[in-house]
Structure 1
Amino acid sequence: MTNQFFTLRVNGADHDVADSWLGESLLDVLRDRVGLMGSKGACTQGECGSCSVTVDGSLVCSCLVMAATAVDQEIVTIEGVAPVGAPSDVQQAFVDAGAVQCGFCTPGLIMAVHDLLDRTPEPSDTEIREELAGNVCRCTGYGRIIDAVQQVSVSRTGSGASSQGDAQ
């Protein structure tokens, strides 16, 4: 295998990747070449969501994306959702709601919640559950995660409608 050279735009900065092979996953390049350890590799099959990042505004499982295909696209990882030392509203809501347990799934869930709330500012319980179904968490039972999403929705929109109208 021949190593390839390319540049990735990650969290607003260019990162030269000089020692990657052409079929290497974006997850591996982000962790092993760029040094961003927030995205986690669990299943390497796109089933757990722990490696979720956005590429040009679309939420993807970085374990399924070849890094070289992301050249000239904006990649945002968990490290890029908020400035260092100032958590995003979603990150803070996860802490406040007790939605962070072991933390392995948390980066992917936070990326998924940002994506959900950017597209659907006032999601119903059903929409939250459907949108987060691709993220596996073995610690929280999802109730606290759903509470965190609802907290952010209410704070962003100023309404309490996000959890109304759905049967539990």
Structure 2
Amino acid sequence: MNLRVVKEDITRLKVDAIVNAANKTLLGGGGVDGAIHQAAGPELKEVCRKLNGCMTGEAKITEAFKLPAKYIIHTVGPIYPFHTISENKKLLSSCYINSLNIAKAYKLKSIAFSCISTGVYKYPKKIAAMTAIETCRKWIIDENYDIEIIFCVFDSDNFNIYNDIINASFN
């Protein structure tokens, strides 16, 4: 099973798709969403405008324009603690499942996820990482699809959290 964590700028990754932790408008915002829109160029905003937004837990795909990735999959994570604990987990899991389903539909072989919902949406980092890894592992087994999954983080705290969970779950 090809799951790993890297501490890098997601806008520089040369993968089939990067996953943007977007807001419901898909028109850019702060954090990784703003960085992806900035690096991809103004064409991304124009294409996203035509998508008419995205609901929490869902995902939509666009080309990546000026990024080295081929595609951007935009997903909207839950705002914590807006929903119940079980609903938050279900919505966060849906972000990963729907993004991976799009990757499979497009026959993609590599995907890099940013940390979904852990920035301004305040989802606890460790719980979000456990949900992400658990959901992706289950999806790979259930779908029997060969894809490289990268969790791309920008800080040491998230890197250590993901690395510890991945190492513990494979040992």
- Normalization by structure 1: what TM-score? 0.29
Structure number with greater CO (CA < 8 Å, separation at least 6) is 2
Task: Flag the structure with larger Rg.
Answer: 1
Greater helix fraction, Structure 1 or Structure 2: 2
